[in-house]
Every structure is written in structure tokens, then in C-alpha cells.
Amino acid sequence: MFQQNRVQHILVAHDLSPDADLALCRAAQLARQTGARLSLLCVIGEGDGEADEQDARTLLHERLQRNGFAHIEPWVRRGQPVEEILTQAQGLEADLLVLGQHHRGSTQGFAGTTLERIMLESAAPLLLATAPADTPYLRAMAALDFSRCATRALQCAWELLGDGAELRALHVHEMAEVHGPDHEGLALQQELFDQLVEDIQSQLPGTGARLSHSLLQGERSNCLETAIDDLRPQLLALGSHSRGELSSALLGSLARQFLDHPPCDILIAR
């Protein structure tokens, strides 16, 4: 049976950028909604002076106050960002790691960035916050295959939703559209998928949200884009397989596209 996860401690990794401010804003909203503890971490270079550290603390205090968490003392560490973020996330036993879209404007896109390296190693689910957190999530989508990591991503996304929200679980029965519909294969996939969703739903805590599911048949790219256009989710949950290889059963090469150009906030779980 699937293991329930509870988001009790949210850690924000802040790099003093406007994108990181978006991440803190979303994390603060989620902490208020779920009652989770909130922590804020900033990693500065080992060669930075005391004045740089004090400037960072001053800015972080101001951002925390702006988001209603003035009582929190931010963590400021020196070292390499990836190693320090992963170390602190493990040491603080964070259940959710929140970052901003740090690679924006990079000529290399998502590849090789701090965010990608953290995603490959983080034991906690990672939330990439890309949009202002004016309201709680009301529409979410989970790309669901039959892997544990995809199920974990759905479970975590569920806990970030409040009363009246909808989480759509989507599975794609992949086939080349030129071959026409595969009615027998689709019927089998539908039966298996219905049972999977039923098993998962029986383990989800009550949040006031609603779980729906749909199965599409066709080419992965077209199906997923159609579903996103239809639902217009504010949160997209993806499972990542060992060492960050995102589910080839559903996403394959599309994962890079969504991380390079996210249509909304992205949640990734291993």
C-alpha cells in the first residue's frame, strides 16, 4: 500500500533574487494553509565578507516580515549552494524544498543549474515556484504512471491543496496517432488506471480537495499539452525516477521542456 506523506516542514532556499521572493511567498502561503513549519536558508560564498552576510540577513528579515513570518530567524550558511542546501534540507528534516526559477535567462536553459543538481539529489519533494502566490492552489495536475515516485508526487501535491481545489491525475496510453485508436489496449489501461487511482485515493488525507482522473490515448506531447490547455493547472506534479531521470513511461524527453519553460509551478518527487 502507498505510504502517506505529511508536509510538516517547508524549507525555502533563497538566493536574494526576485525569483526567490516568489518562492518564499508561495512557501509562506502553504505554511499558513497547512500549518507546516517554515524555514528560510540562504547560502553565500565562502569568500564573501561579514558585510555581505549582514546584508543577506537584513534582506531576508525584510522578506520574512513582508510575508508575515517576522518571528523566524533565517539560516545563512557559507559554501557551495548545492551541498549546503541538501545538507540543511536533510538536517532540518524538511518535507518540502521550495526554490525559485533560478535559471531564467540562462543560455544553457535548465541543464547544469543549481536547481537541476538539487533535484537529482534531494530526498524531499522539490517545488519550483514560478508564479505569484496570490491565492492557494485551486487546480493541479499530476502526471501519473505506475511508479512510486509519480504516486508520491501526487500525494505531495494533494497536501498542498485546500478546500474546493481539484487535482486531476492524468495517464497517457501512448501510441502513434497515425495508427488509429487501440480500443482493446485502452480498455485494459483504463481498468488498471482506475484501480491505481482508487488505491491512491483511499490513502489520501482529507483536505477538502477533489481528485479526478482521466486517461488519454495518443502521442505523449499532444496529450499532455491538451490536458494542460484544458485544465490550466497552477501546479503540475511529476515523478522522477532514480537520479532524476523523469518517468519515461509518461514524460520522457518532455520533462526537460516543462522544466525549461514551466507552464505553472512544478512539483517533483523521487
Looking at residue 77, its pLDDT comes to 93
Name the residue with higher pLDDT: 155 or 51.
155
CA end-to-end distance (rounded Å), the chain:
17
pLDDT band at 68 (very low <50, low <70, confident <90, very high): very high
Looking at residue 255, its pLDDT comes to 57
Q: Model's pTM, two decimal places?
A: 0.88
Looking at residue 241, its pLDDT comes to 62
How much is the average pLDDT of 44-67? 90
Longest dimension (CA), the chain: 67
Looking at residue 171, its pLDDT comes to 93
Is pLDDT at 21 greater than 50 in this prediction?
yes
For residue 98, the SS3 value is: strand
pLDDT band at 234 (very low <50, low <70, confident <90, very high): very high
Dist CA 8 CA 90 (whole Å): 14
Is pLDDT at 246 greater than 50 in this prediction?
no
Looking at residue 110, its pLDDT comes to 52
Report whether 237 contacts 140 (CB < 8 A).
yes
| Residue 62 host element (H or E) | helix 50-66
Dist CA 159 CA 203 (whole Å): 12
Determine what percent of the chain is predicted with pLDDT higher than 70.
Answer: 86
Name the residue with higher pLDDT: 221 or 75.
75
C-alpha cell at 169: 491525475
Is pLDDT at 59 greater than 90 in this prediction?
yes
pLDDT band at 243 (very low <50, low <70, confident <90, very high): very low
Phi, psi dihedral angles at 229 (to 5 degrees): -65, -35
**For the chain, the helix, strand and coil percentages under 3-state DSSP, each to the nearest 5:** 40, 25, 35
How much is the average pLDDT of 141-155? 91
> What does the mean pLDDT of the chain come to?
86
* Inter-CA distances, 212 with 142, 175, 191, Å: 10, 23, 15
* Inter-CA distances, 92 with 78, 84, 150, 264, Å: 17, 12, 24, 28
Domains of the chain: 9-129 (3.40.50.620), 139-269 (3.40.50.620)
* Inter-CA distances, 110 with 57, 74, 101, Å: 28, 27, 9
pLDDT tens track for 160-204: 998 999 999 999 887 766 566 677 878 999 999 999 999 999 999
Looking at residue 250, its pLDDT comes to 45
Dist CA 11 CA 37 (whole Å): 8
Looking at residue 119, its pLDDT comes to 81
pLDDT tens track for 89-141: 999 999 999 999 865 555 444 555 777 788 878 999 999 999 999 899 999 99
Is pLDDT at 208 greater than 80 in this prediction?
yes
Q: Which of 25, 65, 59, 66 is nearest to 42 (CA)?
A: 59
